[in-house]
Structure 1
Amino acid sequence: MDISIEGVSKTFGETTALESVDLRVPSGRLVTLLGASGCGKTTLLRIVAGFETADTGSVRFGERDLAKVPVWKRRIGFVFQSYALWPHMTVAENVAYGLRLRKLPKEEVAAKVAAGLAMVGLTGREQRRPGQLSGGQQQRVALARALALEPDVLLMDEPLSNLDAKLRVEMRREIRRIQQETGITAVYVTHDQDEALEISDLVAVMNGGRIEQIGAPEDIYDRPETTFVASFVGTVTLLKGKVTGDGGLALGGGATVNLGRPAGAPGAVVNVALRPEDLRLVDEHAQLTGTVVRSSFQGSSRESVAELPGGEQVAFEHRGPLTTGATVGLVADRFTVVERDTGLA
C-alpha cells in the first residue's frame, strides 16, 4: 500500500507547522521523516494517521482519499514514543486489545497474539505486565500490538527515544528486520541521523515545515542538495567561496584553498561540503593547510579540527595523536558542491 501526500499544509494559530508538503511512500518501503524538534515531522505523521486534519492538501493510501476517513477506519498501526501500554494488563492482553475491539473469535485472537509476540521475540512472556519488562521489551510489545491488527501502513513516532544508546541500536535493527519480513509500508519519525541512515529505504529531511530533500540514505549523506541537509546529516565542514580559474576556492579573509579540481565555473560563489572521513593528512602537496585547534579520541580513529588561514575550521579523521597548535596539511579525496544555501542546522 503506497502513501501519497500532496500539498499538505497545517498551521496552529500563527505558527506554520507544515507548508505545502509533497511526499510519496512506495508500497513496502520504510521512509523516515528526519529533522530537529519543531520541523513538522510529527505533525505530518499525525495527519497521515488521522489524529490531525490538514488545512490544505490530501493524503491517500493507494487510490483511497482519506479526507473523510476516521482513524479507526484507516487500517494503520501506530507505535508511540511513550509505548502507551495498559499497565494493569498482561503482555498478551495488551497485544490482544485492538483485536478484541474488532470482536474476533477467541481462537483467532490467541493465534494472532502468539504470532505477533513470536515476531518480536517475546514468546514466553505473555503473562508478564509492562512494569516487569525492560524498556526495549515494552517497545516490542507496542510493536507487536500494532502489527497484530495486520495494518496496511505502520506509523512510528520516535519509538526508540526512551531507550539507552545500545538498546536503540538493537531495536532499530529489529524494527528494520520486521518491516522487511512483513513487507509493510512504514513511516518512521526520528531526529537521530544514524537511525535514519541505517534503517530507511528513503529519508526525507525536514526543516521549517518543508521537506528539503528526499532520497536514499547514501544520496542524503553523499550528495546533499542544500546546506541545511549537509550540516544536519553527519559531521561536515562547509566552505563558502569564489571559484578561481585554477581549481581553487577563494575564501573569506583572502585565503585560497586548492581543491585540485574545479568546483564550478570561474567566479561562481559556491558552498563546498567536506566530510571528516574524506580528508587525510599529507606531508606534501597539501590542498588545505591549517593549525590544529582541538583533537578528540573516537575509538576507532581520532577526529581533529584545524583552522585555515581565513578562519574557517575543518574537521578530519586520522590515526595517532596530534598536538594542539601543530600545522597540518590535508588532501580532500572527495568534496561535494552544495547547490542551494538554506542555512545551517
Structure 2
Amino acid sequence: MRISVHRGFLAGLLILLALALSGGALAALALGISPRLQLLSTRTVQAASFVHLGLVGWIGGMLTIVLAARLVRRPGLAALALPLALGALWQATWIVPYYTTNTVAHRTPLTVATINVQDGRADLDGLTAQLQTADVIVIVEHTDAARERLADRGLTESHPHAVHVGNGVGGTSIYSRLPLEDLGAGPTVFGSPVVRLDHPDGPLTLIAAHPVNPMGGAELWAEDAAALRAVILAHADGPVVVAGDLNAIDRHATMRPLLTTDGFRSTADLTGAGFPRTWPTREHGPFPVLGIDYVLVNAPLTAVSHRTFTVTGTDHVGIIAQVALRA
C-alpha cells in the first residue's frame, strides 16, 4: 500500500512536470507561429529567440507522462502523450529542412565568409587564418583599429577590393578578391553596404547585413529589419547574397518574410548542414544556442557548402559558405 501511495504521488508530480513542460512548449509554438504575438513587446521578441527549445518541452512532457503511466500501471494514461507528440512533430518540421540537402546543378562557386568580431575584439591572427579560403568577406562590428591590424596581416593584399561603413558596433566591412562596385549603404541604423561583384559567371549583388538587436526595443528592431528588407528587395531582380549578423532566428517576425514570401534560403538550409547555432560561442556561454548569423541567397543562386568556424575574442560563430549561380 505504501509503495502504491508513493508511486501515485510521484506519478502526480510527473504529470505536473509534464503540464509545465507542455505549457512552455505550447507558448513557444504560438510565438513561433505568430509574428503579431512576437511584436507585443521587447520581452516577447526576446522570448521568441528560444522557440526552437519548445521541441525539448514536447519531448520532455511525453517522456514524463509515459513514465507516470508506468509507475501507476495505467497504460491508458500514456494516451495523454499523443497531443504532445503532435506538437513535437509540428515543431520538428521547422528543423528537419536543415538536415535535408537541396543543392542543384550549379556554376562556379563563390566562397563567402561572415563573422561578427564583437567590436573588434576577435583574435585577428586566428581570423586571418580562417579567412584565407574566402573570396568575399563580410565583417560586422568592425573597428578602424581592427581594419588597420588586418591590413598589416595582409588581408588587403589578398582581398584588395573593399568597402567600409562605420566604426565599432556599427562598423561593417566587405573585402573581396573580385572587383566590386560600391552601390552605397542602405538606411539602416548601422548602415548596410551593398556591392556588385564582378563574378566570372555574371554579376552578383552582395549585401552586408547587421540590423539592430531587440535589446533596444521591439519597435526599433522591427523598423530596422524592415529597412534592411527594403534594401534587399530593391536588388532582388537579380542574384543576391545577404551575409552578416541579422539579430534574429529563422522564426522571428523579421526573418520569416525573407525566408518565405521573398524566396531567400540560408546556406545551412540548402546544404543540409544542420540546425544553425552561431551565438554565443563557448567562450561566452555553455554553448551556442541561437542561429542569428546567416549567408542567404535568392532563387537564381544555390549553396554548395556551409561550415562554421570560431575564433577567440568574439561571441559569434563565423560562417564560410560556397554559393553559386544555378546551372
Q: Same fold (TM over 0.5)?
A: no
Considering fraction of residues, name the structure with more helix: 2
**TM-score relative to the length of structure 1:** 0.25
TM-score, L = length of structure 2: 0.26
Q: Name whichever structure is richer in strand by fraction.
A: 1
Structure with more contact order per residue of length (Cα contacts < 8 Å, sep ≥ 6):
2
